């Protein structure tokens, strides 16, 4: 797990140094640096292309330096690589997910068993292929997933895998009285729930999971289930392999379900000089509010300045 991230001269960050936890939530207005922070995390573990756009104000003379403290030891990335050992060996597999609010696709290509459980994909479109693989190779996990879906999708009896073409797998829902419908005809919220359950039960998830606004397309009252599933991902409850989760959000309803004792919340702001800053919430200050208000309420009413330490 990555416990700390330090970045200098990377995109909109001149300097940022923040702690991370198994579940970390990034909050802040639009254009405050949250997505750039996810990009920063990717640089430690994914071999992304590099050009002048990653430098502060596109100035290649300002060296980019990114480092982190992880359970496996220190990890670093630099550009230009003018320090000994930079770029460093990659930290571990990372998955970035940006789910379409209209719901993830319910058809995907099949693949041979010897490839193992494949990634779910940037847009979550690998759900049918994963379930097809589990039905053939890990039936206990498959049926545990079905039970988890039943608890969240009223009226669901079974999940079915269809093969409309030899190279295609389609997820079907079997609902009341045995009616079988393609999952693509289900609501966007149901299809998004299927993705999050698949992520929670995936036998080999990315060690670092980055999520852009998982609340999109989800009913506010369902966000408790989404946060619970993501926390279970970070604990390896269902899949057997814990993965660190870092997500962005604009939803105070999602923030209501974050536990400041175990989770991390980082507050992003745009400064007058164009830089972006990130800092952890002030837990001791928030204790004065949380006896009467939910964390999301404090954020909504007090804005970002109400979540962080007040300057003297």
pLDDT in tens, 107-120: 999 999 999 999 99
Closest CA to 207 of 184, 238, 234: 234
Which helix (H) or strand (E) segment is 15 a member of?
strand 13-19
pLDDT of residue 171: 97
In which residue are the tokens 């994909």 written? 121
> 3-state SS of the chain: helix, strand, coil percent to 5?
35, 25, 40
Report the alpha-carbon distance of residue 7 to residue 78 in Å, rounded: 10
* Three-class DSSP category at 244: strand
Q: Indicate the range of 3-12, 78-87, 227-236, 278-287 predicted with least confidence.
A: 78-87
- DSSP, residue by residue, 59-101: -TTS-EEEEEEETTEEEEEEES--STT-SPPP-S-EEEE---T
Work out the average pLDDT over 182-204: 96
pTM for the model: 0.93
Can you give the pLDDT at residue 50? 79
82-129 pLDDT per residue, tens: 655 555 555 567 899 999 989 899 999 999 999 999 999 999 999 999
Which pair of structure tokens corresponds to residue 142? 């498959």
Q: What's the pLDDT score for residue 233?
A: 96
Following CA atoms 175, 180, 182, 184 in sequence, which dihedral angle do they give, to the nearest 10 degrees?
Answer: -20
Cα angle at 308 between 306 and 312, to 5 degrees? 95
From CA 186, how far away is CA 77, in angstroms rounded? Answer: 43
Report residue 243's pLDDT band, with 50, 70 and 90 as the boundaries. Answer: very high
Number of other residues whose CB lies within 10 A of the CB of residue 274: 10
188-201 vs 223-235: helix crossing angle, rounded to 10: 20
At residue 46, the 3 state secondary structure works out as coil
């Amino acid at each position: 797990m990555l416990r700390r991230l330090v970045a200098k001269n990377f995109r909109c960050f001149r300097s940022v140094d923040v702690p991370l936890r198994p579940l970390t939530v990034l909050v802040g207005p639009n254009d405050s640096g949250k997505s750039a922070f996810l990009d920063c995390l990717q640089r430690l573990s994914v071999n992304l292309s590099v050009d002048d756009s990653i430098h502060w104000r596109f100035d290649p003379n300002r060296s980019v330096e990114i480092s982190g403290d992880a359970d496996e030891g220190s990890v670093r990335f630099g550009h230009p690589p003018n320090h000994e050992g930079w770029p460093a060996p990659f930290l571990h597999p990372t998955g970035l997910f940006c789910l379409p609010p209209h719901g993830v696709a319910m058809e995907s290509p099949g693949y041979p068993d010897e490839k193992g459980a494949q990634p779910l994909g940037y847009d979550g479109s690998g759900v049918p292929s994963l379930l097809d693989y589990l039905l053939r190779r890990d039936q206990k996990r498959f049926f545990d997933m079905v039970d988890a879906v039943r608890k969240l999708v009223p009226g669901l009896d079974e999940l079915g895998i269809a093969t409309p073409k030899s190279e295609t797998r389609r997820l079907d829902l079997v609902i009341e009285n045995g009616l079988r419908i393609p999952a693509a005809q289900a609501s966007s919220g149901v299809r998004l729930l299927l993705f999050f359950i698949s992520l929670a039960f995936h036998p080999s998830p990315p060690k670092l999971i980055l999520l852009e606004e998982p609340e999109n397309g989800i009913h506010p009252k369902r966000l408790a289930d989404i946060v619970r599933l993501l926390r279970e991902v970070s604990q390896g409850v269902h899949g057997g392999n814990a993965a660190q989760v870092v997500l962005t959000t604009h939803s105070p309803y999602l923030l209501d379900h974050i536990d400041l004792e175990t989770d991390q919340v980082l507050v992003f702001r745009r400064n007058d000089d164009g830089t972006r800053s990130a800092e952890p919430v002030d837990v001791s200050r928030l204790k004065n509010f949380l006896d009467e208000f939910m964390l999301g309420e404090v954020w909504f009413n007090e804005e970002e300045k109400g979540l962080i330490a007040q300057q003297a």
